[in-house]
Structure 1
Amino acid sequence: MDKASPIASSLADLDKRSRDIFREIVETYLDTGEPVGSRTLSRSGHIALSPASIRNTMADLAAAGLLTAPHASAGRLPTHAGLRLFVDGLLQVGELSEEERREIDDRVASAGRRTSDVLSQASSLLSGLAGGAGLVASPKAEIALRHVEFVSLSPTEILAVLVSESGAVENRLMTAPAGLPPAALIEAGNYLSARLRGRTLSEALKEIADEIAQKRAQLDAAAASLVESGLADWGGTDDRTLIVRGQAKLLENVEAAEDLERIRILFEDIERKEDLLALLDEARNGQGVRLFIGSENSLFSLSGSSVIVAPYRDRDQKIVGALGVIGPTRLNYARVIPLVDYTARVVGRILDGPR
């Protein structure tokens, strides 16, 4: 049994002829979506070599793991590893025109100030301009807090009052721990107010839980029970939404049965909200646009899709959410990457309100 061909890890592994032919194949594939043959390259006028010489180089590129042939007699396509090498080393990312920037500004702004409307508009916009499906994850509801207070409503219900640094008030109903004395409400509220002041729940969650677990919280058993109940309730909820627009775009230019099957699998992947949110959350760990090509992400290993995502930020440059585009691996990366990046910046600016 033959060993798998080693994959070229950098452009330095290729000579000039190989780089030129590789670039031409990938750019032609991204433009047409079709396998590229040696005769096509020879006739293009960009490669001054005979079809036979081009075929030899294409065979070397295939042996290096950068090209593949869907059928024995067909031309060559870039592999996922080949696309990654192209994007990282040869792709020239374009700049959005002033007209395109103005269109994005105007269309996102036309949604108003409601978060759900802005995010829905952004998802539709990305789909229309990028030719894939637009994905937007709503922000996690995380606000810096100033004060926490517990109010008894009945023997079984407590109202938790959370006051943010901005003065906004959020009320949350809780089930009261059995036999809770009134003094425990005050003690638990004072304890949380001291540790949450100026911080979000997620920022302080682990520290508080560790203090209680290690008996360092200086709370009696009843107050500690109330704090733990609150943290479990508040920290365990994730009411974010995933907005997907333009799935029909993925059906355009589908010709072969295997392409239709890949799209069917992709639609199933998109239905898995939690997995997609986790993928978008990976953008929160980076500084800018992130690109996942095909099998680089296990979620899309079967459908062979590409995802381009970018985080959007609040006025303090804290990442609060992410948006992007999902589509076939032949997305126009040079155009979609700056499109996603700029849309993320516009969404962050509008959701943050006037300066």
Structure 2
Amino acid sequence: MSLPLDYPRDPARPAGGSLTSLNERSREIFRQIVDSYLTSGEAVGSRHVARLLPMALSAASVRNVMQDLEELGLIYAPHTSAGRLPTELGLRFFVDAMLELGDIGPGEREQIEAQVKAAAHEQPLEAVLGDAMSMLSGLTRGAGVVVTTKDNARLKQIEFVRIEPERALAILVSEDGSVENRILHIPAWLPPSALIEAGNFLNARIRGRTLLEVKIEIEASHQAAENELGELTTRLIDAGLAGWADNSGGGQQLIVRGQGNLLQDLTAIEDLERIRLLFADLETKKDVIDLLNRAEGGEGVRIFIGSENKLFSLSGSSMIAAPFHDEQQRIVGVLGVIGPTRLNYARIVPMVDYTSKVVSRMLQRR
């Protein structure tokens, strides 16, 4: 199975032009080099490639083709007289032009659906997503990551508590059982009754809705709110909801599961340093969130390879990510898998895609 039609090719990568004119022999030799790398992580020489080819070619002929591929920037020699490995450009070309996706087996589909369904009935959304990422990490042997925004949570109740003359605590209880506390700056002269009235006003409107939805409604009926609450309470609601709903990225949360998988299957001592750098990358939550947010640009799966993004410029890692949606088909988060550049793309791409669809269905039912 080839890549789906909605798979977004990366227009910034120069994997076109003369690369698309590679003949069948060159493509087959390049495919064998990439397949060997994805399987073992090791460089492959011309003699070994010649034995793998479906056509009869001498090792000398294979070396000539490998030289051409190297000049195109698709492969390189890690050491003098060593075999060849694909470059990041080569991997991008392989993914965009040659990758054939596998399919998810019935057992894996059932495992994904059962894990998400079981967690959805008992746990808050954050725990459900964490369980889903643990499951995805176990199936792919990479690190499962998800980023979502708390501002999309469907709320059940809200309460304001004054903690200082100019600060109040907003307690938000979501329908999934999670509780979040936020600090709200208020005027020192605001009477205590304004906090009580604001809570009553919101609790009459907020059940089953997001902060952003309530904010939009209040803005649309601003005059009615003024008449009902009075100017002071309305100013409190406007200031508070505007700050929460418009705080770009402020409500986002990152969940990472299965980092230990990245320490398995090391093929060289250099991999240990690469993994250390990747752990450092994962600790920089803002960069991971920014990267995952880039995956919201399309409906399909996105693949980020190595230095195509600043987050993995040193660690030599890749990410496969896909968005998930709420009942209005709005993107409310992105999930994915992080691992070395020799990830099993053919297997993991459909797995990430299927998991995002299962999570979307779960959110729509909730």
| Cα drift, residue 179 of structure 1 | 3.7
Q: Which residue of the partner structure matches residue 8 of structure 2?
A: none
1:167-210 deviation line (CA, Å, top 9, x unaligned): xx999663421444899999999xx99xx9x996558989x99x
Q: Aligned residue for 2:242?
A: 231
- Across the aligned residues of Structure 1 and Structure 2, the Cα RMSD in angstroms comes to 4.2
Q: Measure, in 2, the Cα distance between the counterparts of 1:263 and 1:161.
A: 39
- CA shift digits 1:30-65 (9 cap, x unpaired): 122111110001112424211111111101111101
Q: 1 CA distance for matches of 2:149 and 2:287?
A: 16
Residue 306 of structure 1 aligns to a residue whose secondary structure is strand
Distance 1:327 1:99 in 2: 23
Name the SS of the counterpart of 1:93 in structure 2.
coil
Partner of 1:299: 311
**TM-score w.r.t. structure 2 length?**
0.77
2:94 maps to 1:83: no
Unaligned runs of at least 5 residues, structure 2: 1-12, 220-225
Matches of residues 158-237 of structure 1 in structure 2 within 5 Å? 174-180=184-190, 227-228=238-239, 230-233=241-244, 235-236=246-247
Counterparts of residues 290-329 of structure 1 (less than 5 Å)? 290-329=302-341
2:257 counterpart of 1:245: yes
Tell me if the contact between 2:149 and 2:251 (Cα under 8 Å) persists in the aligned partners: no
- Aligned equivalent of 2:76, options 57, 62, 68: 68
For the residues of structure 2 that align with 1:244 and 1:149, how far apart are their CA atoms? 31
Q: Aligned residues, how many? A: 341
Task: Letter of the 2:40 partner, please give it.
Answer: T
Cα 1:203–1:86 shift into 2, 3 Å: farther
Question: Aligned residue for 1:135?
Answer: 145
Distance 1:199 1:228 in 2: 19
What is the percentage of aligned positions where both structures have the same residue?
Answer: 53
- Mapped to 2, the partners of 1:141 and 1:73 lie a distance apart of 56
* Structure 1 residue 112: Cα displacement: 3.6
**Equivalent position to 1:56, from 64, 67, 73:** 64
* 1:122 alignment partner AA: A
1:68-91 per-residue CA deviation (whole Å, 9 max, x = no partner) reads 111112111111111111111111
8 Å contact kept, 1:7–1:64 = no
Change (3 A) 1:333 1:138: same
Match of 1:15 among 23, 44, 52: 23
Name the TM-score, length of structure 1 as normaliser. Answer: 0.79
Cα distance in 2 between the residues matched to 1:184 and 1:328: 55
Residue 279 of structure 1: aligned partner: 291
Aligned pairs for 1:97-136 (under 5 A) are: 97-113=105-121, 114=123, 115-136=125-146
Conservation of the 8 A alpha-carbon contact between 2:46 and 2:63: yes
Q: Bigger shift: 121-130 or 240-249?
A: 240-249
* Secondary structure of residue in 1 paired with 2:151: coil
Distance in 2 (CA, whole Å) between partners of 1:154 and 1:265 is 43
Task: Provide Cα deviations, 1:276-330, integer angstroms capped at 9, x if missing partner.
Answer: 1121122222111100000111100101101000111112211111111100111
Contiguous gaps of at least 5 residues in structure 1: 1-5, 210-216
